[in-house]
Amino acid sequence: MQRVCFLLRVRPELVDEYRRRHAEVWPEMRAALSATGWHNYSIFVADDGQVIGYVETDDFEGALSGMAATEVNARWQRQMAPFFEGIGGAAPDTAMRPVPEAFHLD
């Protein structure tokens, strides 16, 4: 099982709306994440817009490509893209950059 942490940045003025939308993730999006191998998936958002994501998966690249093949992900990414800084018009899920793990207490 891979443990993956990633960073993104939300525009500070949109943090509250970003949090609200994630409190109401569509059931079909949640089902697609589960079906494509996203487990124990969490997103944390600081008041300044720093986003820290964490997911456990057998294959992170496979989980990303599995989601990329779904229609619901395309809709979600289109709606969420305006919230982010520094992604240059890309879909947010393609801008995720894993942070190397330095320690894990087993």
Task: Confirm whether 22 is a catalytic residue.
Answer: yes
- Cβ atoms of residues 85 and 55 within 8 Å: no
Q: Of 3, 19, 22, 39, which is the active-site residue?
A: 22
C-alpha closest to that of 70 among 27, 32, 41, 21: 32
Q: Which residues are catalytic?
A: 22
